[in-house]
Structure 1
């Protein structure tokens, strides 16, 4: 009779386990920066998507202003010119036709307030992201807005911050902070321009 061979199963040796752990560690170290980049890329894409939709909507409002015969405000000035988009009343600058408010007929591109910026985005974008002018509401909103001055032309502009990119700030952004802080797009009602400012490191 032949001797019967038994198959013995052995576990991994300590050396093999250490090699597996080292390989997994190297893979994780290579993957983690990619996942953090994905987060920054997602923030950039979200901002660019909303800014692009906003810019298109601004152009449509101006087109409606042109088709309506370039209406002026009640006083004959640019302030308070009305345009209706799908039965939604918008106030535009009577000189340029770009929206300056969704609910304040006195608004003009030279004396806008943050509430005008909120009403513009809510009025011209279908399914607009929740936007606030109150810095303390960042946790409950997608965009934070404030008004800043265009130093070259002297008119007011709306700054729309992606709230998630400034949530760790202790003070509300103001002025030209959008050039160096967080991710934002800026709307200039003087010329309808929308510029994107991404400050991801």
Structure 2
């Protein structure tokens, strides 16, 4: 993903790696993608080696280290576009941590799970409210085509909150199937019943 972020930055103008990182952070791309900053220079070298970016200039100013400025090539532009096409067209399952927790939630007592879900829901509601307000503010200044990833993120977060709210409601109302068996299982120390 860091390669994608680099290509998306240098498509605008030639940059040196430090500037690329600055632009990626300023645009919030580090919030949209999982980026491993420690490999930035390796990624830049690999993009250069594969012909996706090329050196425009390499200069040293004063006692500073040499800075190499790169620009995107036609092959890099084509690679960026192909990569974006694939990311948009091909759904890929990326299991969230919450799903992993739900898959083994029986390890906890149902009352503890209920308490944890309340905490999660409170955080989700607070964060969603802040995201919604920020998105409303951005919409005044930024064209929507640059905000759709934030809209998608908010939609996922709101769906997460609704699912959590419904699950919490089932546990609180004690309408969740097998809730009594779950409680008995914990009362007996987690032994099979």
| Shorter-normalised TM range | under 0.3
**TM-score (structure 1 length as normaliser):** 0.24
**TM-score (structure 2 length as normaliser):** 0.25
Structure number with higher relative contact order (C-alpha < 8 Å, ≥ 6 residues apart): 2
Larger helix proportion, structure 1 or 2? Answer: 2
| Pair member with larger Rg | 1
Larger strand proportion, structure 1 or 2? Answer: 1
